Structure 1
Amino acid sequence: MVRLLGMLAGLFFGAALLWSFGNGAYTAITEPTAATAEAEFHRHPKEVRFASDGPFGTFDKQQLQRGFQVYKEVCSACHSLRLVAFRDLSQLGYNEAEVKAIAKGFQVPGIDPNTGEANTRPGLPTDYFPKPFANDIAARAANNNAVPPDLSLMTKARHEGPAYVYSLLTGFQNQPAALLQKFPDAKTPAGLHYNPYFANLNLAMAPPLTAEGQVTYGDGTKSSVDQMAKDVAAFLVWTAEPKLAKRHQTGFPVVIFLIFATVLAYMAYQNVWRGKKGNH
């Protein structure tokens, strides 16, 4: 009796599964998904290469310093790096005095030791990068009702993160005429900016990199919009995974060791069991 009930239950769930599959297939065939401007005009990130790419990738410290300079002079006005401390910049090749000078150039939240009231003070190497706005309300008021995201983990939080950041920064443009012809209601609202690399094509952030020479690099590199976008994207790869190069350096010897150990284990197995299997 129990076996019969089990068979009937199995048949019931199998029939339900087949019905659901068939109904879904019929709906997909007879009711095609309506086209949307986002689906048709959204683009995948551009092809771009970084020194940190691949299993043997490492960081180009000169590029990271240039990227930090772009962040400091352009992006930090709106975006925070709440998971990065000033002292972490020593990993980019800055010496102790330079790290102290960079930290001192930022105002961080503090407490007045005499009154106990909140105030601001020059940063110390042990401090983390401060938020550019006091709270989300202030951030929305300054950015067309949008809160600029923290950039610490941006290249990990987005698909194809480094390429996404680079593409977004270099992707601002006028809406294509074809888009407005096909989707008249998809006109970019006032205060927003069209960018095909953003999910819904329109974002509150105005183009942050607008002209060659916007940032003057200390190493003499020509600061085109394309170069600045690549540099800050590379810097954000580091903020998201500062141990990446070390992990790559450690990973390769570990893989070689595991392969060697596997071969030794197999040879030991063969030696121990040689001639014994046939005795059973």
Structure 2
Amino acid sequence: MRKLLPALLAAGLAFAPLSFAQAQDGQGPTENTASEEAAAGQDASAEAAEEGHAETPHYPLRHPEQLNWSFAGPFGHWDVAQLQRGLKVYKEVCSACHGMRLVAFRNLEALGYSEAQVKAFAAEYTVQDGPNGDGEMFERPGIPSDYFPSPFPNTAAAAAANGGAAPPDLSLIAKARAVERGFPTFVFDLGTQYQEAGPDYIHALLTGYDQEPPQAIAESLQPGTYYNPYFISGPALAMPPPIGDDQVEYPDGSPQTVDQYSRDVAAFMMWAAEPHLAERKATGFVVMIFLVVFAGLLFAVKRRVWAGTAH
């Protein structure tokens, strides 16, 4: 047995190179053919790219402009007047198609409204409640503890009324829709506390409907869609231009333009998505100051305690 094992091992080593060579010979034509086809495909792709037929578009086609917001930076704060104008734009324009199911009427007191004003504002909406004593649902005027109702009874009804696509809820839209800024910009964003990509996108989208599409894109647009180079999911979207100049009246005398409307409603959407943003930044600044002072005190105590100890 001891002599048989070395003999089998030697025979295997002897025939292994021959088997490997035969396997290579058998697979050679297939591999060469695959390599030639891959090379041909790459050449064809390169030629198509040179002709402009194989370029893969990346959306959005244009990146939103970085705007100046009052809530930007580590010392950001809310512009209450702007938020009130944004609420007005949402109520008179956006609420016809979009809901805000995560924002309660009582939260509007943070925008400078009194309790009586919030009650009057909530009463303008009709809210479904129930069941009652007979087991049926009923409708009643809204109260401060209610949330902004959806304009449609359900998602299917919303999609049916809007060409098959249900309008998104706007409660968290300012945090959910943000264009990636890429490297190395996002590295600097850590120091500047930049988190306004969502409002920048909302403003760019609302003001980007007047752009003319390139010829290649214009030929591929689906009927019933509207070209917008700032749309994050494609070259066009089904939502028509939602607002125009002088559509919403501002009692404070602010410009009644699409640009101003877009800025105001984008700021309001940011507040709706993160209402405690300004307080969080103020708390964070105090915490950083405390940590710096505390580190200095620890260093001074360490020097004091170990001053007489030989190192």
Q: TM-score, normalised by structure 1?
A: 0.82
For residue 109 of structure 1, the aligned residue among 128, 132, 139 is 128
Q: Residues 87 and 41 of structure 1: is their aligned pair in 2 closer, same or farther, counting only changes over 3 Å?
A: closer
Please say if 1:63 is aligned against 2:82.
yes
Q: Which amino acid aligns with 1:208?
A: P
Q: Aligned partners of 2:78 and 2:242: how far apart in 1?
A: 24
Alpha carbon RMSD of aligned pairs, Å?
2.2
For residue 161 of structure 1, the aligned residue among 175, 198, 202 is 198
Please say if 1:129 is aligned against 2:148.
yes
1:276 positional shift: 2.6
Alignment correspondent of 1:258: 291
1:141 positional shift: 1.2
Alignment correspondent of 1:217: 250
Contact 2:211 2:229 in 1 (8 A): no
1:152-191, aligned counterparts within 5 Å?
152-159=171-178, 160-176=197-213, 179-180=214-215, 182-183=216-217, 186=220, 188-191=221-224
1:206 positional shift: 1.0
Contact 2:102 2:147 in 1 (8 A): yes
Q: Which amino acid aligns with 1:252?
A: F
Q: Which amino acid aligns with 2:288?
A: V
3-state SS of paired residue (2:168): coil
Contact 1:108 1:121 in 2 (8 A): yes
Alignment correspondent of 2:168: 149
1:218 positional shift: 2.2
Alignment correspondent of 1:231: 264
Larger radius of gyration: 2
Count of aligned positions: 246
Alignment correspondent of 1:203: 237
Q: Which amino acid aligns with 1:219?
A: D
Q: Which amino acid aligns with 1:168?
A: L
Q: Aligned partners of 1:245 and 1:138: how far apart in 2?
A: 37
Q: Residues 149 and 42 of structure 1: is their aligned pair in 2 closer, same or farther, counting only changes over 3 Å?
A: same
Alignment correspondent of 1:87: 106
Contact 1:144 1:191 in 2 (8 A): no
Q: TM-score, normalised by structure 2?
A: 0.74
3-state SS of paired residue (1:150): coil
Q: Residues 240 and 41 of structure 1: is their aligned pair in 2 closer, same or farther, counting only changes over 3 Å?
A: closer
1:40 positional shift: 7.8
Q: Aligned partners of 2:239 and 2:163: how far apart in 1?
A: 8
1:39 positional shift: 2.4
Q: Which amino acid aligns with 1:167?
A: A
Unaligned runs of 5+ in 2: 1-37, 179-196
Q: Aligned partners of 1:241 and 1:52: how far apart in 2?
A: 11
Q: Aligned partners of 1:204 and 1:118: how far apart in 2?
A: 34
Q: Which amino acid aligns with 1:35?
A: E
Q: Aligned partners of 1:138 and 1:202: how far apart in 2?
A: 23
3-state SS of paired residue (1:265): helix
Q: Residues 40 and 238 of structure 1: is their aligned pair in 2 closer, same or farther, counting only changes over 3 Å?
A: closer
Q: Deviating runs (4+, > 4 A) in structure 1?
A: 29-33
Contact 2:61 2:230 in 1 (8 A): yes
For residue 245 of structure 1, the aligned residue among 275, 278, 285 is 278
Q: Aligned partners of 1:40 and 1:55: how far apart in 2?
A: 30
Please say if 1:268 is aligned against 2:301.
yes
Q: Which amino acid aligns with 2:176?
A: A
3-state SS of paired residue (2:278): helix
1:204 positional shift: 1.3
